[in-house]
Amino acid sequence: MTTRTKPAPAPAAERGSWLREHSELGVCALLLTLGVLVLTDALTMDVDITQRGPVGPKTVPVVVGVGLLVIAALLAVDVLRGGRGQAEGGEDVDLSEPADWRTVLLLAGIFLGASVLIEPLGFPAAGALLFWGAAFALGSRRLDRDPLIAAVLSLVTYAVFDKLLGVPLPGGPLMGVL
């Protein structure tokens, strides 16, 4: 009778190497999490009793959630079978340069600030700060032109969504003027 022994645990370097070679599984986990969140939110959504027809407000979120789960599963199977994503080969991307974390953090801060300020200031003011801040973070230093372009772009966006499409956006202090 032979005794079966457990294989020795893999050293940390080998585990790190396996994780590095299968890093796309992180994207699978993100897609899976998003799919579960979207489906949970869609299936617990209150639907008006007066809904008519088979297609209601739950239909699109359920389709998107199921799609995210299917894509996560297909990507995981592909990665575990040895598939790998190709590195960016664009002519405008220098892969030898490190990531520009300053720009990424500036953009993240600007988006966070705009989301906090949209309720008290309203969409036109918060949107103008968002557009101008994004232009500044991405390298534009035209202080004579950028705030004006950001204000016009924000007002046009507000008018299109609020007035033409009927999507209510907070107007803030400018609500009486607009």
Condensed to tens digits (0 to 9), the pLDDT of residues 86-145 reads: 666 666 666 677 878 899 999 999 999 999 999 999 999 999 999 999 999 998 989 889
Give me the pLDDT at residue 12, please: 57
Give me the pLDDT at residue 166, please: 79
Exposure of 124 by Cβ count < 10 A (0-12 exposed, 13-18 middle, 19+ buried)?
buried
Numbers of helices and strands, H then E, in the chain:
6, 0
Whose tokens are 């998003």? That residue is 34
Give me the pLDDT at residue 74, please: 94
What contacts 69, CB < 8 A, 6 or more positions away? 31, 32, 35, 36, 39
Q: In terms of Cα–Cα distance, which of 37, 43, 40 is closest to 58?
A: 43
Secondary structure, 3-state, 105-173: HHHHHHHHHHHHHHHHHCHHHHHHHHHHHHHHHCCCCCCCCHHHHHHHHHHHHHHHHHHHCCCCCCCHH
Stated pTM of the model: 0.53
Angle at the Cα of 137 from the Cα atoms of 136 and 140, rounded to 5 degrees: 35
Residues above pLDDT 90, as percent of the chain: 46
For the chain, the domains span 12-46+57-80, 101-176
Would you give the distance in Å from CA 91 to the centre of its chain?
Answer: 25
